[in-house]
């Protein structure tokens, strides 16, 4: 059963531009996670510098960039403001209201499964992505698996671990820092 550990990048520098890197606190957070991180058979990130740097610090390497971890979200959250999506319940509400959000989540889940199938049965993948891009598919999968998923939106270096069997997800678990 492969494991996909998909996390949000560590804290990025201010400015909000796509090429921002990690802050000293973000680097320290990723380095702290590295001390207790399991062995990863594959380490991937989105193309953005903060995601690549997070992966390298947590796993000690980056095996490749996965463009699927930085898809165009378009208007899937409607008129909501990303920074105001404070809880997983806020994201679940978007999924209930918006077909494009449900489609986005389904497409991300296909990317997750494709990546997880690149490793052996007992191997683990570290994938570094971004806020919002993780919440929507995680909630969708949790609902499909009848697994409660609640609490705050994923903070820096937080996300989920998904277990797969024969290409299908079987469990999902939140990982917090």
Q: Report percent pLDDT > 90 for the chain.
A: 85
The predicted model scores a pTM of 0.94
Least confident segment among 1-5, 13-17, 28-32: 13-17
Find, among 47, 50, 45, 44, the residue nearest to 20 by Cα: 50
pLDDT at position 136 is: 96
Mean pLDDT, residues 100-110 taken together? 96
Least confident segment among 14-18, 34-38, 161-165: 14-18
Residue 93's contacts (CB-CB under 8 Å, 6 or more residues apart) are none
Q: What is the 3-state secondary structure (H, E, C) of 31-57?
A: HHHHHHCCCCCEEEECCCHHHHHHHHH
DSSP annotation string for 49-108:
HHHHHHHHHHHS---EE-GGGS---TTTTTT--GGG--BHHHHHHHHHH-HHHHHHHHHH
pLDDT at position 116 is: 98
pLDDT band at 16 (very low <50, low <70, confident <90, very high): low
pLDDT at position 96 is: 95
What are the extents of the domains in the chain?
A: 3-11+20-175
Question: Which CATH number fits the domain 3-11+20-175, given the four candidates 3.10.20.740, 3.40.50.1240, 1.10.10.350, 3.20.20.410?
Answer: 3.40.50.1240
* 3-state secondary structure (DSSP) of residue 175: strand
Q: Report percent pLDDT > 70 for the chain.
A: 97
pLDDT band at 15 (very low <50, low <70, confident <90, very high): low
* 3-state secondary structure (DSSP) of residue 118: coil
Is pLDDT above 90 for 173?
yes
């Amino acid at each position: 059963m492969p494991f996909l550990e998909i996390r949000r990048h560590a804290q990025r520098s201010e400015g909000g531009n796509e090429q921002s890197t990690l802050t000293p606190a973000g680097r320290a957070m990723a380095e702290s996670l590295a001390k207790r991180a399991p062995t990863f058979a594959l380490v991937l990130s989105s193309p953005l510098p903060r995601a690549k740097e997070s992966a390298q610090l947590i796993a000690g390497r980056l095996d490749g960039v996965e463009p699927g971890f930085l898809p165009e979200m378009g208007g899937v959250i409607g008129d909501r403001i990303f920074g105001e999506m404070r809880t997983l319940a806020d994201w679940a509400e978007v999924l209930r209201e918006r077909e494009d959000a449900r489609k986005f989540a389904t497409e991300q889940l296909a990317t997750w499964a494709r990546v997880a199938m690149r490793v052996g049965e007992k191997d683990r993948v570290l994938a570094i992505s971004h806020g919002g891009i993780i919440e929507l598919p995680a909630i969708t999968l949790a609902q499909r698996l009848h697994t409660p998923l609640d609490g705050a939106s994923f903070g820096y270096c937080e996300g989920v671990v998904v277990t797969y069997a024969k290409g299908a997800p079987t469990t999902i678990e939140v990982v917090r820092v």
